[in-house]
Amino acid sequence: MIEIKLGDISQLAFQVDAIVNAANADLIPGGGVDGALNRAAGPELKEAMAKIGGTTVGSAVLTPAFDLPATYVIHAVGPRYIDGAHQEKVLLTAAYEAVFRLAHEYKLHSLALPVLSSGIYGYPKAAAAQILYEVATRPENQQFKTTVIVFEPEWLLIFEKLK
């Protein structure tokens, strides 16, 4: 089940098993979703990320959520969009697959996630939403209550067209 909500992923008014962070490969807190989640979670999240030390583009790793309304944070690393000819779709799909693989592994029931790579990484919004929607609605991922948290109203229209 997938639901799209307008809001700030770092200020959820509900509890989930995991919040997905749009992380960078170095796992060093940056701006956007990553910065907001780190500020809301407290300094322990940055420390937990530093202990992992980094991960590759197209992968995801898990830490405790600390002061966030979740048990875990799944740090997923999407690609920077160049021109669509540099494996961007493959890497973004892999990042979402890694998120759901961890959700299966840790027997999670609910996820809150942003649209990866669609902010400062420049992935075209409709294409990024399509990839997220395709992975989240696969039969093996239907068991999760997946809430996509978007910051701008235009996202609601983009996802409405995917249904």
**Residues annotated as catalytic (active site), given as ranges:** 34
Residue written as token pair 């799209």: 4
Q: For residue 17, what is the DSSP state?
A: E
Question: What is the chain's alpha carbon radius of gyration, rounded to the nearest angstrom?
Answer: 14
DSSP sequence for 36-104: HHHHHH-HHHHHHHHHH----TT-EEEEE-TTSSEEEEEEE-PPPPSSS-SSHHHHHHHHHHHHHHHHH
